[in-house]
Amino acid sequence: MQNTPASPPPPGTAIIVGRWQLFHKGHKTLLKAALAAAAQVIVVIGSAFRSRDVRNPFNWEERQAMIQATLPPDAVGRVKFLSVRDYFDDDRWNTAVRAGVQQLTGGSGPVTLVGFKKDHTSYYLDHFPTWVWQAVLQEFDIDATSLRNVFFEGSDPDARLAVLRPHVCAGVLAYLQAWSRLPVYAQRVLEHNTVVQYRKKWSADVYLTADAVLVANGHVLLIRRGGDVGHGQWALPGGFVDKGERFYTAALRELYEETGFKTLDSTMRHALKASQVFDHPLRSARGRLITNAFYFDLGAVRLPEIKGADDALEAKWIPLDSLAGLEDQLFEDHAAILDRFVGVYSAGK
């Protein structure tokens, strides 16, 4: 008896959305459903272009490679990828996704959004009412957070991979095995363990911080972080607000402690152009940190002398037109903070 050839998928585009940190068999269920739903599939990779942290250990290229490692040969040409950054602003994120899909599809054919609503974090699936919604049953009771914990905890990388084996496809397991031999893996393990201990010590529901965005003569003052969390990444001078301290005072204190910059209070009051609270629940992997950022512009002055101090490896005046190229090296949501005041995000990605 001859096998009946599988019928071709319907025309149009199916979309799946996720961070895919890391890509497991539950994610594979979504991908299979999308491949059956439409001739073309777009995999939206969220949290792209940002620096690595314990929630986002893999960059978007690595996540794309993991997903591609699971594709059957006849599906490779049908799958496209759309990388979208964290704007920490739903409207901007929704617009970026729609624009990316429009570019990849040319605006032709029906669009189907494929997914399953696992918890409150899936609210973004309701933001595309013009697309057809196709719900998928959750076939595997697993989540990426638990798998990341396995991958970055313990002393034996091979034992960790053995635990992961039932939950990820063979191609992903092979990729993780190779990736775990790279220096970046050891850095992520150290940061993961540091954050675990950090959360045990700092267990309050919310902590308050303040950051300074100081601009002078077309440059912004950044520090390079020491310590084990975000080590070597560029960041705004800032830190925790002391008891009884106001946000503005804390921002100036941290600016001085980390960079040595200090001037007359009247100068800073005149230079203050704006301030904004950044309170997205996922802006920091360390816990719920709410920051008030203050934007100062000293104008066309000679760049003041600065020097990294306290927990900063160095302090440096960075040209504003260089920030887009540093996006994936900026700590936590500091790219979003800088973008709010001085612009960072490149229109080309």
Maximum C-alpha span of the chain: 89
Backbone angles phi, psi at 174, to 5 degrees: -65, -40
What average pLDDT is seen over the chain?
A: 93
Task: List the CATH number of the domain containing 332.
Answer: 3.90.79.10
- Residue 257 forms part of a structural domain: yes
Cβ pair 225, 311 in contact under 8 A = yes
| pLDDT tens digit sequence for 300-336 | 999 999 999 888 899 999 999 999 999 999 999 999 9
> Given a cut of 90, is residue 251 above it in pLDDT?
yes
Are 124 and 216 in a shared domain? no
**Could you give the 3-state DSSP secondary structure of residue 100?**
helix
- Residue 258 forms part of a structural domain: yes
- Residue 199 forms part of a structural domain: no
Buried b vs exposed e over 223-245: b needs ≥16 C-beta within 10 Å?
bbbeeebbeebbbbbbbebeeee
Are 68 and 164 in a shared domain? yes
> Given a cut of 70, is residue 3 above it in pLDDT?
no
Q: What is the pLDDT of residue 141?
A: 83
Q: What is the pLDDT of residue 86?
A: 94
Q: For the residues of 249-279, what is the DSSP string, one character each?
A: HHHHHHHHHHH-----HHHHHHHEEEEEEE-
Q: What is the 3-state secondary structure (H, E, C) of 151-220?
A: HHCCCCHHHHHHHHHHHCCHHHHHHHHHHCCCHHHHHHHHHHHHHHHHHHHCCCCCEEEEEEEEEECCEE
Are 225 and 173 in a shared domain? no
Question: For the residues 194-203, what does the mean pLDDT come to?
Answer: 89
Are 152 and 274 in a shared domain? no
Are 167 and 231 in a shared domain? no
Q: What is the pLDDT of residue 122?
A: 66
Residue 1 confidence class, pLDDT cut points 50, 70, 90 = very low
Are 245 and 161 in a shared domain? no
- Residue 132 forms part of a structural domain: yes
From 220, 205, 229, select the one nearest 294 (Cα to Cα). 220
For the chain, give the number of residues.
Answer: 349
Are 229 and 136 in a shared domain? no
> Given a cut of 90, is residue 241 above it in pLDDT?
yes
Vertex 133 angle, CA 132 and 138, to 5°: 155
pTM of the model as a whole: 0.91
Number of structural domains found in the chain? 2
Question: For the residues 223-238, what does the mean pLDDT come to?
Answer: 95
Beta-carbon contacts of 253 under 8 Å, excluding residues fewer than 6 positions away, are 242, 245
Residue 4 confidence class, pLDDT cut points 50, 70, 90 = low
| pLDDT tens digit sequence for 36-81 | 999 999 999 999 999 999 999 999 999 999 999 999 999 999 999 9
- Residue 58 forms part of a structural domain: yes
CB neighbourhood size of 8 (10 A): 7
Structural domain boundaries enclosing 228 = 207-341
Are 81 and 177 in a shared domain? yes
**Could you give the 3-state DSSP secondary structure of residue 294?**
strand
Q: What is the pLDDT of residue 278?
A: 97
Crossing angle of helices 144-152 and 157-164, in 10° steps, is 160
| pLDDT tens digit sequence for 119-172 | 666 677 788 999 999 999 888 888 999 999 999 997 788 899 999 999 999 999
From 198, 196, 174, 194, select the one nearest 186 (Cα to Cα). 194
Backbone angles phi, psi at 297, to 5 degrees: -130, 115
- Residue 228 forms part of a structural domain: yes
| pLDDT tens digit sequence for 253-279 | 999 999 999 999 999 999 999 999 999
- Residue 346 forms part of a structural domain: no
Question: For the residues 212-233, what does the mean pLDDT come to?
Answer: 96
Are 94 and 171 in a shared domain? yes
Q: What is the pLDDT of residue 123?
A: 76
- Residue 91 forms part of a structural domain: yes
Are 156 and 33 in a shared domain? yes
| pLDDT tens digit sequence for 27-46 | 999 999 999 999 999 999 99
Are 163 and 103 in a shared domain? yes
Task: List the CATH number of the domain containing 139.
Answer: 3.40.50.620
| pLDDT tens digit sequence for 177-187 | 999 999 999 99
Q: What is the pLDDT of residue 299?
A: 97
Are 145 and 218 in a shared domain? no
